[in-house]
């Protein structure tokens, strides 16, 4: 598939060196106005093999559930999809990024300073990422050393149809590994920059990324786009040059150094929902019962339960 770059080379609207200050200022302002409604969690670690899984227990989802219910009621009443990003809530606006993208605070954040990188015009969340998406993403990743992720479709944990990538600063909590799965990534043997994580029993692919610091956002985005295409092909999600829709649900994670892609077959396993952060080693449970179930089954068993098994992919 040949990506048409088009207007992706247009000048960025995000002024270098300003995003973190804008993010912290807007976080404080949105908290004061009530626009930002952070979800308080307790956390603990569950060690499995070489990964210390960070497990957060959500103490109160009432406000988020109420917002979801209101959104659903609006959709039933009007017969149309209610898009929370068109228009977006102004108190959550952080910065313009490019002519095609802007960034907002995640209204119901669990991780502090959680950014949403949103397309200005509506695009479906199950459309393939394109060069403009990666230009906007890299512009933010240059400013904030974090974990970027994309929930490719509802089965992959996407709660909104409007296309949006996400970026959370690292580490998730102070005095921990950059990401919980980093010790497992350190065991990867790469062949032509692509490999698999030995402790992951499900279908996936990981690739190293090397982007010179002086590269333009467009040049960096091209590196990331090529890596993304390569990972899709590696896991069997071939790209149709005549169709912008993805051929299957997946989770995509990326740092400045690597990119990981995991195909999905279902949104939850044993009542525990999983999005991209789960494959970084960060899991969320809604109550004590779910926590006990996670401890009993093991984090890797939950991840394996929502993913495509290697054996099934081979048979196909």
94 phi-psi bin (left φ>0, alpha ψ -120 to 50, beta other): alpha
Which band of pLDDT confidence, cut at 50, 70 and 90, is reported for residue 315?
very low
Q: How far is CA 152 from CA 129, 161, 261, in A?
A: 9, 10, 10
Three-class SS state of 96: strand
Residue 181 resides in a domain = yes
Residue 16 inside a domain? The answer is: no
164-169/115-119 β-pairing: antiparallel
CA distance 25 to 152: 30
Within a domain: 11: no
pLDDT of 12 strictly over 80: yes
Domain annotation covers residue 294: yes
pTM of the model: 0.90
Give the range with max mean pLDDT: 2-16, 30-44, 75-89, 119-133: 119-133
Average pLDDT over residues 37-42: 87
Average pLDDT value over all residues in the chain: 89
Least confident of 10-14, 22-26, 169-173, 268-272: 10-14
Residue 257 lies in a domain: yes
What's the whole-number mean pLDDT along residues 50-56? 94
Q: What percent of the chain has pLDDT over 70?
A: 88
Specify the pLDDT at position 314. Answer: 41
The answer to whether residue 105 is domain-embedded is yes
Is 15 a domain residue?
no
- The answer to whether residue 2 is domain-embedded is no
| 225-248 pLDDT tens trace | 999 999 999 999 988 877 888 989
Is the pLDDT score of 59 beyond 90? Answer: no
pLDDT digits (tens, 9 = 90+) for 135-184: 999 999 999 999 999 999 999 999 999 999 999 999 888 777 789 999 99
* Structural domain that includes position 245: 21-315
Specify the CATH number for the domain of residue 239: 3.30.428.70
- Relative to beta strand 101-105, strand 115-119 is antiparallel
pLDDT at 271: 87
Kindly tell me if the per-residue pLDDT of 249 is higher than 90: yes
The whole-angstrom separation of Cα 248 and Cα 309 is 14
Question: Does residue 16 register a pLDDT over 60?
Answer: yes
Q: What's the pLDDT band for 130 if we cut at 50, 70, 90?
A: very high
The residues near 133 (Cβ < 8 Å, ≥ 6 apart) are 101, 117, 119, 163, 165
Which residues, including other chains, have CB under 8 Å from residue 182's CB and lie 6 or more apart?
none
Q: Does residue 199 or residue 77 have the better pLDDT?
A: 199
What is the count of structural domains for the chain? 1
311 contacts 203 by C-beta, under 8 angstroms: no
Q: What is the pLDDT of residues 272-312, one digit of tens each?
A: 999 999 999 999 998 888 999 999 999 999 999 999 988 64
What per-residue confidence (pLDDT) applies to 311? 61
């Amino acid at each position: 598939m040949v990506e048409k770059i088009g207007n992706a080379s247009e000048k960025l609207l995000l002024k270098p060196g300003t995003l973190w200050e804008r993010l912290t200022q807007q976080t404080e302002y949105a908290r004061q106005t009530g626009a930002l409604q952070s979800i308080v969690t307790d956390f603990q670690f569950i060690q499995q093999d070489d990964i210390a899984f960070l497990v957060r227990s959500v103490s109160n989802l009432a406000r988020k559930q109420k917002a979801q219910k209101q959104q659903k009621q609006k959709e039933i009443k009007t017969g149309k999809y209610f898009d929370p990003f068109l228009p977006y809530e102004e108190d959550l606006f952080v910065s313009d990024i490019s002519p095609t993208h802007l960034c907002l605070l995640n209204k119901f954040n669990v991780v502090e300073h959680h950014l949403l990188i949103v397309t200005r015009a509506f695009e479906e969340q199950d459309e393939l990422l394109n060069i403009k998406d990666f230009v906007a993403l890299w512009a933010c990743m240059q400013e904030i050393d974090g974990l970027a992720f994309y929930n490719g479709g509802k089965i992959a944990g996407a709660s909104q149809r409007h296309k949006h990538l996400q970026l959370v600063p690292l580490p998730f909590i102070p005095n921990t590994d950059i990401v919980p799965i980093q010790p497992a990534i350190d065991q990867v043997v790469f062949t032509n920059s692509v490999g698999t994580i030995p402790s992951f029993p499900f279908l996936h692919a990981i690739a190293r990324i090397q982007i010179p610091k002086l590269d333009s956002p467009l040049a960096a985005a091209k590196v990331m786009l090529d890596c993304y295409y390569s990972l899709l092909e590696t896991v069997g999600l071939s790209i149709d040059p005549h169709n912008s829709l993805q051929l299957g649900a997946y989770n995509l994670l990326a740092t400045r150094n690597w990119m990981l892609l995991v195909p999905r077959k279902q949104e939850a396993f044993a009542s525990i929902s999983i999005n991209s952060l789960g494959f970084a080693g960060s899991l969320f449970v809604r109550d004590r019962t779910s926590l006990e179930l996670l401890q009993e089954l093991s984090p890797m068993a939950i991840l394996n339960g929502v993913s495509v098994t290697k054996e099934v992919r081979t048979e196909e």
